[in-house]
Amino acid sequence: MTEIDWSHCEDVERMRGRRSGAPVVEHRRIRADAIIEEFEAGVTPEEIGEEIRDGLGSKRARRIIAYPRTHGPHPQPYA
Residue 14, pLDDT > 90, answer no
- Specify the DSSP element, H or E, that contains 66: helix 58-70
Confidence of residue 72 (pLDDT cuts 50, 70, 90): low
Task: Considering only residues 79 and 48, tell me which one the structure prediction assigns the higher pLDDT.
Answer: 48
pTM of the model: 0.79
Residue 60, pLDDT > 60, answer yes
Using DSSP's 3-state secondary structure scheme, residue 67 falls into helix
Give the number of other CB atoms < 10 A from CB of residue 22: 15
Where b means 16+ CB within 10 Å and e means fewer, 28-38 reads: bebbbbbbbeb
For the chain, give the mean pLDDT. Answer: 85
How far out from the chain centre does Cα 72 lie?
Answer: 14
